[in-house]
Structure 1
Amino acid sequence: MIKKQNIQSIDIILDEEPPNEIKAILQRGLRDYNHPFLGTYELKRFAVYIKNQTSEVIAGIYGFTIAKHKTLRLEFVWVHEDYRGLGLGAQLLSYIDKYAVSKGCCFIQVSTFEFQGKGFYKKMGYQEIGTIPKWFCDKDEIFFLKKLAFWDPARIGV
C-alpha cells in the first residue's frame, strides 16, 4: 500500500494529444476506486450502421454494453440528412432493442440535445429522466432511459 505523502511542488501537465498510456492509467485508477461500489465490469463497444447502394455509411449507432449491470449506452445516433424521415432511425433503435435483450440488458440509456431527437426518443419508448439546462452552447441536454420489456426490478435487485 502506498502511503500518502506531502507534496512540496507539483507539475501539472496539459497534453492535448495524450498517449493511450495516460488514458489507460486514468481509467484503471477510476475503475480501482469504483470497484468497491460497482464491482468488476467491462465495456463492450459496438457499432450498428446502414450503408447505401454506393457503400457509404448513411446512418448508425455507436455505443457500449455493460453486461454485469445489464445496461446498454448509446453514445452516438445519427442519420444522414438526405435519409431522414425514412424510418432508418426507428429501424436502428428496434435493432438495438433486440441486441440489448440478446446481451441480457434491461436498460438502454441515451442523451440528446433539445434540438436533436427529444420527440423521436419519446416516440420510441424512452422516458425522459433528467435535463442539464443550457449545458452546451446554451442548449439543454436531455437524458433518456428505456426499460426493456423483460425488466424485472426484483430479478436484478433494483
Structure 2
Amino acid sequence: MSARPRIVVPDTPGDQDRAAVLNALIAHNEKAAGPSGFQQICVLVEDPETGAAIGGLWGRITYDWLFVELLALPDSTRHAGLGTEVLTRAETIARDRGCVGVWLDTYAFQAPGFYEKRGYEVFGTLADHPRGSQRLFYKKPL
C-alpha cells in the first residue's frame, strides 16, 4: 500500500501549484461531463495614440457558457459606450462559438446597473463581500 498523500500550504503559491489543482479538476469534470470546450476570450480597448491596451474584457468559454472574469475601462473612457461595445463583442463571439449564455459577477459598488440595462439578471448574491456590500452574480441567455 502506498503512503497517504500529504497536505501542504505553500507560502507563495505559483503557477505550477495552480496547474496541479486545475488539472485534477479538469480530469474529474471531463470524466463526468465530457470535454469542456475551453476557449479564452479577450476583447481589448487600445489607446488611439499609443496603441497600448488600456482596458477591455477577459473571459473563458466552458461547457457552452461564456464567463466574463474581468471587464474594466479607465474612468476617463466611461459613459461613452465603450463598455457596451466590448460586452456586445464578447456576446457575439460567444454566440458564434455556440454558447447558450454569459455569466459574470460584480460588486454592488461597481456596475450592476450597467449589466441590468444590457439584459443581465441576478441569479445570486453574496452578502458582506466586502463587508457592508454585496457581490452579485449575473446571467444572460444568448
Using structure 2 for the length normalisation, give the TM-score: 0.86
Match of 1:13 in 2: 8
Question: Which of 67, 70, 89 is matched with 1:95 structurally?
Answer: 89
CA distance in structure 1 between the partners assigned to 2:37 and 2:16 by the alignment? 18
Q: How many equivalent pairs are there? A: 141
Question: Which of 74, 79, 86 is matched with 1:85 structurally?
Answer: 79
Match of 1:65 in 2: 61
CA distance in structure 2 between the partners assigned to 1:58 and 1:26 by the alignment? 31
Equivalence map 1:8-157=2 (5 Å): 12-53=7-48, 54-66=50-62, 69-148=63-142
Q: Which runs of 5+ in 1 are unaligned?
A: 149-158
Give the CA deviation at 1:42: 4.0
* Cα deviation digits, residues 97-151 of structure 1 (max 9, x gap): 2111111111101100001110000001111111001123442000000101xxx
Using structure 1 for the length normalisation, give the TM-score: 0.79
* Cα deviation digits, residues 42-68 of structure 1 (max 9, x gap): 4211211111222232330000112xx
Q: Is the 8 A contact 1:132 1:141 kept in 2?
A: yes
Q: Is the 8 A contact 2:39 2:61 kept in 1?
A: yes
1:82 counterpart SS class: helix
Give the CA deviation at 1:28: 1.9
Q: Is the 8 A contact 2:41 2:90 kept in 1?
A: no
CA distance in structure 1 between the partners assigned to 2:78 and 2:128 by the alignment? 26
| Letter of the 2:8 counterpart | I
Q: Is the 8 A contact 1:113 1:139 kept in 2?
A: yes
* Cα deviation digits, residues 1-27 of structure 1 (max 9, x gap): xx7x785xx854322433433222211
Q: Which runs of 5+ in 2 are unaligned?
A: none
Kindly report structure 1 stretches of 4+ aligned residues shifted beyond 4 Å.
Answer: none
* Identical residues among aligned pairs (%): 25
Give the CA deviation at 1:86: 0.6
RMSD: 2.1
2:80 counterpart SS class: coil
Match of 1:152 in 2: none
